[in-house]
Amino acid sequence: MPTLRHTAASASASATWAALAFIAGAVLAAATGLIFLAPGGSAWSGTFTDPYVWRVARFTLWQAALSALLSILFAMPVAHALARRARFTGRTWLIRLLSLPLALPQLVAVMGILSLWGRHGWLARAAHFTGLPGLPGIYGLTGILLAHVFFNMPLAARILTAALERIPGEYWRLAAQLAMPRAAIWRHIAWPAMARVIPGAALLIFMLCATSFTVVLILGGGPAATTLEVAIYQALRFDFDPPRAMALSLLQVLVTTAVFFILRRFTRAPDVTASLEAPHAHPAGNDPAARLADTFWIGLAAIFTAAPLAAIAAAGLTPDLVPLLASPALHGALLASLILAAAAAALTLILSWALLQSLRLRDPSFAAMGDLAASLILVIPPVVLGAGWFIILHRAGQEATLAPVLVATINALMSLPFAWRILRPPFEEAQARYGRLCAALDITGLARLRLVDWPMLRRPLGLAAALSLALSIGDLGAIALFGSESFRTLPWLLYQKLGSYRTDEAAGLALILLVFILALMALAEALGGQSRRNTP
């Protein structure tokens, strides 16, 4: 019965087309806003010769390159130590700790860094108390790099550790048997394994830092330390200079597009040499010097990652927390945050489900389109997308009515690449296992969802939803453009408190956000752990 199969296929196709149309519509509208509505009569060609625009572009690339370099340099000895110490008490906790920064809202982490390294932070207080000279100022390049390394060193360490753990166990045994000295082990075993993944990891970090918004917004020190993303925001919300916003957006998209496509070339399937041996402790690293070095690096990484989190808890747990918890402003912002995050997470799941249907058609170009649509936000960052919409709404005088819808949509698009990466492998597995059986038995539509896809995918779907909630609840990028006195989320409220120097209240809000995020992460880990156990 070819017609039946045809109906199922066309249902899959129309779901994907609908999602593609939604995403393309959001992007094209933003582009229209930027390109056609932005000029507003004045010639915008002049903005490209504006030295300010180029200075911002240069600083964006420079800080991203430095962040990538420092993160990798710090991560290398940490990963080496972690790979060499395959068993020690607390190793699982350390790995968990290292996975925390990437899931943490930038705003919370920045608060932690401020309460630790800032002018009135714990380190400055300790320095004052002991009479040591104070720290250099945190605002500007120093603070930006510190925050970016906080986020990305653990990411790099995890990528490098994974590469080191793929080294066949026989290599370490050979090194032990041949009595290779430490330098030779590094040169012949550890370094080649790391060198293979360093370009990809560095580019990924570069990409993340080139589009980082919140860190630069709060820690950037005026025009000298501003990135394209923050400059777009300032061009719209402070100066209302749409032509400049457009020029900056165009440069930003150029940068992200270039890095995105180079990155895709680097992320081929990793070179895995099959080994028959189970991973073992490395017999090569048992001398006291190696032990000491490993302890040092692992300890340093743990303190560097944990200290800002501890600082938030310490700064947030003040007597001021009680009135803060009772304030109506918090309740309103919290409710708005929860509703927006729920809407964004729902939209993320609907969009990714619709895009996943493209995989059913066994048409590689269609699947590639779904893949690209899911990661479009990486090329067209939230602030650029928001800038286009901001200009449209401003022209139409509709900021108030549509702002929540836009924030939810932008947040949904932000979590789409992650949801896609979580859902795609189990979806493909379900398709490979049961696709032909479903076609033969004519199990389609809701019946298929209930019988096949839901049982196999409910845990990954829960994981994607939890991550999407966490991402939306902590996001400052979209709300920074659209927030107002009548439309406030938790991060926006926090940013306002920070702007009016009510640091204690800001720290309290950061602590509340942190608790939410940790709860969501625990949920995600429970779901993720379960789903891994379920898949053979």
Partner 1 sequence: MSGLDVRLKDAAFRFEDMRMHFDVLFPAGSLSAVMGPSGAGKSTLLNLIAGFEQPQSGKVLIGGEDMTTLAPARRPVSMIFQDNNLFAHLDVLTNTGLGLSPTGRLDGAQREQVRAALARTGLAGLERRKPAELSGGQRQRVAIARALLRDRPVMLLDEPFAALGPALRAEMLDLVAEIHASRGFTVIMVTHQPDDARAIAQRAVFIHDGQVRAAAPVSEFFAQAGTVPQLAAYLGQ
Rounded to a whole number of angstroms, the minimum distance from the CB of residue 195 to partner 1 is 9
C-alpha 184: how far from its chain's center?
37
| Rg of the chain (C-alpha set) | 25
Give burial (CB, 10 Å; 0-12/13-18/19+) of 322. Answer: exposed
Tell which residue, 146, 159, 163, 54, has the closest CA to residue 106.
146
Q: H-helix or E-strand containing 276?
A: none
- The residue among 1 and 276 lying less far from partner 1, judged by its C-beta, is 276
Residue with Cβ nearer partner 1 (48 or 186): 186
Q: CB–CB of 298/81 below 8 Å?
A: yes
Least gap, CB of 172 to partner 1 (angstroms): 9
Determine how many CB atoms are found less than 10 A away from the CB of residue 536.
4
112: CB partners within 8 A, 6+ apart: 307, 308, 309, 311, 312, 510
Q: Which residues bind partner 1 (CB under 8 A)?
A: 168-171, 173-181, 183-184, 187-189, 192, 273-277, 280, 283, 286
Burial of 361 (0-12, 13-18, 19+ CB in 10 A): middle
Whole-number minimum distance, CB 174 to partner 1, in Å? 7
- Output the smallest distance, CB 160 to partner 1, in A: 17
Contact in structure between 506 and 322 (CB atoms under 8 Å): no
> What's the closest the beta carbon of residue 200 comes to partner 1, in angstroms?
18
Backbone angles phi, psi at 502, to 5 degrees: -95, 70
Q: Shortest approach of partner 1 to residue 175 CB, angstroms?
A: 8
CB of 272 to partner 1, least distance (A): 11
Q: Which is nearer to partner 1, 179 or 326 (CB)?
A: 179
Q: How far is the CB of 83 from partner 1 (least distance, A)?
A: 17
Sign of dihedral through CA atoms 189, 302, 419, 474? negative
Name which of 43 and 276 has its Cβ closer to partner 1: 276
- The per-residue b/e assignment along 392-409, b for 16 or more CB within 10 angstroms, e otherwise, is bbeeeeebeeebbebbbb
Question: What's the closest the beta carbon of residue 271 comes to partner 1, in angstroms?
Answer: 9
| Residues 155 and 102 sit within 8 Å (Cβ to Cβ) | yes
CB of 167 to partner 1, least distance (A): 9
Least distance CB 109 / partner 1 (angstroms): 38
The smaller minimum CB distance to partner 1, of residues 120 and 280, is found at 280
The residues with which 487 forms a beta bridge, in sequence order, are 484
Residue with Cβ nearer partner 1 (195 or 522): 195
d(CA 394, CA 509): 30
Nearer Cβ to partner 1, position 122 or 191? 191
| Identity of the residue, 179 or 446, whose beta carbon is nearer to partner 1 in the bound complex | 179
Q: Strand pairing partners for 484?
A: 487
Of 170 and 429, CB closest to partner 1: 170
Of residues 257 and 273, the one with the C-beta less far from partner 1? 273
3-state secondary structure of 487: strand
CA distances from 260 to 102, 122, 185, 325 (A): 19, 39, 34, 42
Closer residue to partner 1 in complex, CB, 287/485:
287
What is the rounded distance in angstroms from the CA atom of residue 379 to the CA atom of residue 210? 11
